[in-house]
Amino acid sequence: MKTHFLYLFSLFFLHFQFLEFSVSLSPDGLTLLSLKSSIDDASVFSNWNENDPTPCSWSGISCMNITGFPDPRVVGIAIAGKNIRGYIPSELGSLVYLRRLNLHNNNLYGSIPDQIFNATSLHSIFLYGNNLSGPLPPSICNLPRLQNLDLSNNSLSGSLPDSLKNCKQLQRLILAKNNFSGEIPAGIWPELENLVQLDLSANDFKGPIPNDLGELQSLSGTLNLSYNHLSGKIPKSLGNLPVTVSFDLRNNKLSGEIPQTGSFANQGPTAFLNNPQLCGFPLQKSCKGSTDSQQETQNSAPDSDKNKKKGLSPGLIVLISAADAAAVAIIGLIIVYIYWKKKDSNGGCSCTGKRKFGENEKGKFCPCVCINGFRNEDSEVEDQDRAENGKGEGELVAIDKGFTFELDELLRASAYVLGKSGLGIVYKVVLGNGIPVAVRRLGEGGEQRHKEFVTEVQAIAKVKHPNIVKLRAYYWSPDEKLLISDFISNGNLANALRGRNGQPSTSLSWSTRLRIAKGTARGLAYLHECSPRKFVHGDIKPSNILLDNDFQPYISDFGLSRLINITGNNPSSSGGFMGGALPYMKSVQTERSNNYRAPEARVPGSRPAQKWDVYSFGVVMLELLTGKSPELSPTTSTSIEVPDLVRWVKKGFEEENPLSDMVDPILLQEVHAKKEVLAVFHVALACTEADPEVRPRMKNVSENLERIGT
């Protein structure tokens, strides 16, 4: 009897302890303990203390005071990239005020429990980068506020449920890199009026592309259906999508002619690669006569073999002999020409003891009477003739006919150093008429490569745009190569943002920053789309964006890499000085690590591509928005450094941090600009996508920016 009494007493005591524990922790806290118990390694939850009254101080947990409740309620769970292994407990569905669930980049397995969608306040679910399996729960659209759903890079399977059409508020649907199969269902897309991003790439979808995908009028960025097994023709209705939308239909089984209406006109060839049966613009595969041409090739093959067996005909032998004789005659003429040219040069001036441009009066080199001063012409034919015939020694060639000065005037003028880098020394020179110019000295080598030098300079000279530094003239001699360009008086964007001493500038209002972004985008779009060579800049960053007194931007330093290679200089670092007044000691060092470069641009041996510039420009926009530099520099304040600015901003948006936490504090004073700032953020994030194929073209970026603030 005594033993039985002690047993009952112990049970009562344990029950009392449990009641006391239950009362001490809020209901939301008790629910979160189910997540802790579902994880194999609980070290991530080391500060999840059961004795706390609420879970609001626990790592990864966000709370908010809700009217009518004594304790704060859990509104956010953010435990991402912790490498935790376990499953998602269904009890999380009882967190009725939960708004954000961020468990991405872990090792979670199992299916997504249906009960989780009882948390009807959820509007953002980020579960990408795990090992989740099973189908997409049909009850997912029971969430009336769901805006962001990213389940990419998992092992989810099955077909897409028709119930997706009930996700009326959905803005981003990202299901890439899973095992979804079947056809992409029709009938749901017209209902998703707010959908901004759709990514169904790298799955096992088959069948045709639904026609009603063309009704996604809110879509921006990239419609990504690549790496599936989609077949049939591309529906013309996709041309009804906004012109800013890029397509990615690579690696499918699509066939027929690519439509040429609407948004299709803005697509590049990479959007359609690896669809063997596709033809038409922008692919280099005609839709007409392809079968006939193949047949002709097959029929001509035997004939060519017969010709080889027959050997050379007598007529062909006579033609070859005549060609040989003509070649010998031409070589003889060239030898005679060189002989008389050397004889003439011996009677001309002899410049001895030449010195380098930009040195003091005692160090200037003599101009030589045989230089003949200024040549006011831009005839490409004559330039090419001079290059081929070896003339062009000691030439000052004006690109712009309205830009007149003599070589002696240039050499006598006072010159002082603006900057120095692997792209050459840059001087400011004030001509006799009071006009300042920027003179870049490229190097001393390359005397045997005059033709290449002239060709490259001519290509740069053809680029004429209000937001690109204009090349006015150049000088070439065997031991001196100079580029003369406009002098841009107000320094560069790096100094405007960070100040002369690395401190943030207070002079850049939001309207000024937006003007700089728009102008730079226009200039880059011109380089990519309209310039004769379709230039890739390859080094877009704030120090290469020069500013005038009205803060209009000018892109500098494009097309110089080949010139540097010709002159034998080593562009190991870039200071970005062409045409601008830039203090050397600041600008060269602050961007040495160059986190403005796209991920693929950092791979040794990679070839420059236009999408490099798109990424770099995106980082520049993020710096304009946040006031934070992506570079590590001993000269700048640590309070404005973010080593990985792109990741920092993307994480802020995923966790839905207040805009005030990311925007430059100076801009917070301009309350009216909030909507515009948010729009530019979205453009910048699209530019800085890790996959270059997903990034928009610079033309589309410029068009998107032009719509903002107008």
Q: Distance (Å, rounded) from C-alpha 626 to C-alpha 645? A: 9
What pLDDT score was predicted for residue 642? 54
Q: Distance (Å, rounded) from C-alpha 341 to C-alpha 389? A: 10
pLDDT digits (tens, 9 = 90+) for 306-362: 333 334 444 444 444 444 444 434 434 443 344 434 434 433 333 333 344 444 333
The secondary structure of 22-33 as a DSSP string is HHHS-HHHHHHH
Q: Are 259 and 236 in contact (CB under 8 A)?
A: yes
What pLDDT score was predicted for residue 179? 96
Crossing angle of helices 698-707/674-687, nearest 10°?
170
Element (H, E) at 224: strand 222-224
Catalytic residues: 539
Between the ranges 83-92, 242-251, 265-274, 387-396, where is the mean pLDDT highest? Answer: 83-92
Instruction: Give the pairing of strands 545-547 and 553-555.
Output: antiparallel
Question: pLDDT-based confidence at 659, cuts 50/70/90?
Answer: confident
What pLDDT score was predicted for residue 581? 39
- Residue 333: both structure tokens together: 């003429």
Element (H, E) at 305: helix 290-310
Amino acid at 129: G
What pLDDT score was predicted for residue 709? 81
Shortest CA distance to 221 belongs to which of 191, 201, 251, 203? 201
Give mean pLDDT, residues 672-699: 88
SS (H, E, C) 615-681: HHHHHHHHHHHHCCECCCCCCCCHHHECCCHHHHHHHHHHCCCCHHHCCCHHHHHCHHHHHHHHHHH
pLDDT tops 80 at residue 182: yes
Question: pLDDT-based confidence at 304, cuts 50/70/90?
Answer: very low
pLDDT tops 70 at residue 592: no
What pLDDT score was predicted for residue 159? 95
Range of lowest pLDDT (30-34, 556-560, 591-595): 591-595
282 upstream amide cis, omega within 30 of 0: yes
Give mean pLDDT, residues 618-640: 70
Higher pLDDT, 674 or 372: 674
Between the ranges 249-263, 382-396, 419-433, where is the mean pLDDT highest? Answer: 249-263
Exposure class string for 282-303: b at 16+ Cβ within 10 A, else e: bbebeeeeeeeeeeeeeeeeee
Q: Distance (Å, rounded) from C-alpha 136 to C-alpha 151? A: 9
SS (H, E, C) 691-708: CCCCCCCHHHHHHHHHHC
What pLDDT score was predicted for residue 330? 42
Reduced to 3 states (helix: H, G, I; strand: E, B; else coil), residue 269 is helix
pLDDT tops 80 at residue 18: no
What pLDDT score was predicted for residue 317? 41
Give mean pLDDT, residues 609-614: 92
What pLDDT score was predicted for residue 289? 55
pLDDT digits (tens, 9 = 90+) for 506-549: 568 899 999 999 999 999 999 998 877 788 888 899 989 999 98
What pLDDT score was predicted for residue 500? 56
Reduced to 3 states (helix: H, G, I; strand: E, B; else coil), residue 293 is helix
What pLDDT score was predicted for residue 419? 64
Runs of H (alpha helix) within 143-281: none
What pLDDT score was predicted for residue 618? 95
pLDDT tops 90 at residue 555: yes
Percentage, residues of the chain above pLDDT 90:
35
- DSSP E strand stretches across 308-367: none
pLDDT digits (tens, 9 = 90+) for 207-266: 999 999 999 988 887 899 999 999 999 999 999 998 778 889 999 999 999 998 888 877
Using a 10 angstrom Cβ sphere, with 0-12 exposed, 13-18 middle and 19 or more buried, the burial of residue 401 is: exposed
Could you tell me which residues are beta bridge partners of residue 439?
A: 427, 484
Element (H, E) at 517: helix 510-529
The secondary structure of 43-70 as a DSSP string is GGGTT--TTSS-STTSTTEEEE--TT-S
Instruction: Give the pairing of strands 415-421 and 480-486.
Output: unpaired
What pLDDT score was predicted for residue 436? 82
Q: Distance (Å, rounded) from C-alpha 438 to C-alpha 425? A: 10
Higher pLDDT, 541 or 383: 541
CA separation, residue 486 to residues 471, 480, 496, 653 (Å): 7, 20, 20, 41
Give this prediction's pTM: 0.52
Eight-state DSSP code of residue 193: T
What pLDDT score was predicted for residue 468? 93
Q: What angle do CA 189, 190, 192 make, to 5 degrees?
A: 65
Average pLDDT over the chain, rounded to whole? Answer: 75
What pLDDT score was predicted for residue 265? 74
pLDDT digits (tens, 9 = 90+) for 470-508: 888 888 877 777 888 888 888 889 888 876 554 555 568
Higher pLDDT, 705 or 388: 705
Higher pLDDT, 178 or 376: 178
- Residue 244: both structure tokens together: 């800013």
Which region, left, alpha or beta, applies to residue 674 given φ > 0 means left and ψ of -120 to 50 means alpha?
alpha
